Structure 1
Amino acid sequence: MKLLSTLAVSVALTATLATPVLAQNAAVVNGKAIPKAKLDKMLASAGQVANNPELRDRARDMLITRELINQEAIKRGVINNDGIQEQLEQARLNILVGAVFEDYIQREGVTESELKTAYDQVKGQFSGKEYKVRHILVEKEADAKSLIAKIKAGEKFEDLAKANSKDPGSAVNGGDLNWMNPQALVPEFSKAMVALDKGQMTDKPVKSQFGFHIIKLEDVRESKVPTVAELKPQLIQMMAQDQNWQKAKFEEMLAKLKSKAKVQ
């Protein structure tokens, strides 16, 4: 009895100690732990929701596979192969080159003059007016005409939008599209919208590729033009699309590194 009692205590103690270990690990592969934090980070870097069970299982399986391959490479000794070591070092260097160059561009590689030139090229896109607008989208013209009649008879635009609009993004907010730039909308919608006065609604359905719209204009204002600082990430991304610019910047970075280095 004493032996059975001791064994029971031992099993219970083992279970108690194992629980926090399992809780903080996504898996343990041949004794090698894969931290839960590593799984969470993998999902986050891929832009995935960490609490999605299916995606989490797939990501966990991928980490297990990677660990198995890594263990097998060590077991077989291929990790010590000179050719493999050279390839690993080259891959590491390629990653570092990209990371160093990106950091250089973000920190110091782009001059204020370059940013200003790029800014002048795009700031015109933000000029003009913005329109605070609501709409109801339906499939059939007859349905749109019926809704227009109901609104004119006194029913609330917002309530009818919630109940009838096929645009799920705006329907829940009573058809509210918030502040919109006409350039961001399909031409038929934009043309009808800018022709309205504040507080006015389209008398007839407006047809577009999405269906039939009933449009109500609530307000108009001058567009707010973002500052250079606010647009800096987008401006850098825009410039980086030019391969000649990238090449010139990379050579510039190397020249600065060499000028500061002591090479004997």
Structure 2
Amino acid sequence: MTFKPARLLLALIAIAASFAYSPSFAQNLAVVNGKAIPSSRADAIVKQVVAQGQGTDSPQLRDAIKKDLISREVMMQEAIKQGYDKNPEVKAALENARQTIVINALARDYITKHPVSDAEVKAEYDRFAKQTGDKEYHVRHILFATEDEAKAAIAKLKGGAKFEDLAKGSKDTGTANNGGDLDWASPSSFPPEFAAGFTNLQKGAITDTPVKTQVGYHVIKLDDVRPAKLPTLDEVKPQISEALTQQKLAAYQEEMVKKAKVQ
């Protein structure tokens, strides 16, 4: 922000007056019952608020933060006066908070020194694209508890029964009332054995034999196939970068745990 000459003069006068009123102004936001609140604490909160897009640095924001910090200091002093800082549960919570803050500082420093590269993001995107494939399938299914029930349903379908009618008896209650519709999805969205049951079907066809998964026996119908609509690398780069960052931190944590002497 650029001050105009008149505003700059007024600002300088205000600063000079503040120093004359309180010699500790430059260091402290306020002094509450003899306990100083450093200005740096307010500066840090302002920086965080601005960084998160929740506001802009303004006198109104700083005044609100000052009032909040003063209120918190008053309450903190009263809590200590009444001995809450000696409470075992409070002490445990403080230790947990301290651990979290210190660990987060370590994690930030580690990622700063070991950032996720563009090449790593591109490699993960390519792996995702390959796994997803270039086609999406619109499938329906009916889930049965036994293989014999599934075989009986297939026989009925071949005899002219409507798939949507039989789907009403599906064990998958989430799709039973909409004809077993699983909507559009890539094969990677399903268990491998389920995906293998429909990827070679022709449009409108059903599986000749029941498809077994860990939840039961499926009769699958393929409604349609279309080219997959994958997001571009730029669209998903932030999400991929964040996921890889978390993977790096998890690997670092696992490495530290392996080195530790745990009894």
Q: TM-score, normalised by structure 2?
A: 0.50
Q: Deviation string for 1:5-57 (max 9, x for gaps)?
A: xxxxxxxxxxxxxxxxxxxxxxxxxxxxxxxxxxxxxxxxxxxxxxxxxxxxx
How much has 1:114 moved relative to structure 2? 5.5
The AA in structure 2 aligned to 1:148 is I
**Structure 1 residues 145, 78: CA separation in 2 closer, same or farther (over 3 Å shift)?**
closer
Q: Find the counterpart in structure 2 of residue 147 from structure 1.
A: 153
Distance 1:77 1:148 in 2: 69
Q: Find the counterpart in structure 2 of residue 12 from structure 1.
A: none
Identify unmatched segments of 5+ residues in structure 1: 1-69, 248-264
The AA in structure 2 aligned to 1:209 is Q
Q: Find the counterpart in structure 2 of residue 181 from structure 1.
A: 186
From 187, 191, 201, give the equivalent of 2:206: 201
From 216, 224, 227, give the equivalent of 1:222: 227
2:82 matches 1:75? yes
How much has 1:134 moved relative to structure 2? 0.5
Q: Deviation string for 1:234-258 (max 9, x for gaps)?
A: 33222332149989xxxxxxxxxxx
Q: Find the counterpart in structure 2 of residue 36 from structure 1.
A: none
Alignment of 1:51-66 (within 5 A): none
Q: Find the counterpart in structure 1 of residue 244 from structure 2.
A: 238
Distance 2:158 2:151 in 1: 11
What is the alpha-carbon root mean square deviation over aligned residues? 4.1
Number of paired residues? Answer: 169
Runs of 4+ in 1 over 6 A off after TM superposition: 244-247
Q: Deviation string for 1:119-160 (max 9, x for gaps)?
A: 344332232322111010111222223222332333321121
- SS across alignment from 1:189: helix
The AA in structure 1 aligned to 2:233 is V
- SS across alignment from 1:204: coil
Distance 2:147 2:120 in 1: 51
8 Å CA contact retained: 1:206, 1:212? yes
Q: Deviation string for 1:77-102 (max 9, x for gaps)?
A: 747xxxx8xx9699479549849x87
Q: Find the counterpart in structure 2 of residue 159 from structure 1.
A: 165
Task: Kindly indicate which of the two structures has a greater share of residues assigned to helix.
Answer: 1
Distance 2:246 2:185 in 1: 28
How much has 1:218 moved relative to structure 2? 0.6
From 128, 131, 134, give the equivalent of 1:128: 134
8 Å CA contact retained: 1:198, 1:218? yes
Q: Find the counterpart in structure 2 of residue 22 from structure 1.
A: none
8 Å CA contact retained: 1:119, 1:235? no
How much has 1:226 moved relative to structure 2? 1.8
Indicate the percent of aligned positions where both proteins have the same amino acid.
44
8 Å CA contact retained: 1:158, 1:175? yes
Distance 1:193 1:184 in 2: 13
The AA in structure 1 aligned to 2:187 is P
